[in-house]
Structure 1
Amino acid sequence: MHKHVLKIMVLMIFSISLVACGNSEAKTNNNLTYENIVNLAIEKVESEIAERNNIEYDSSSIDYGNDLRSSSDITMWENGKYIKVVVYDKEEDDEKEITHYRLKDDELVNINGHPDIDFDSIEEQEPDYIEEKGKIIKQ
Structure 2
Amino acid sequence: MRNFRKAALAGATAVALAFGSTTIAAAEETAAPETNNQTPADAEKPSASTKIGASLDAYDKDGNATAADGREIFGSEKEHFGDQPGWAKAFYATTIFAAVSALVGLVVGPAYNFVVHGLPNL
Structure number with greater Rg is: 2
TM-score (norm 2): 0.27
TM-score (norm 1): 0.24
Q: Which has the higher contact order (CA 8 A, sep 6+)?
A: 1
Greater percentage in helix? 2
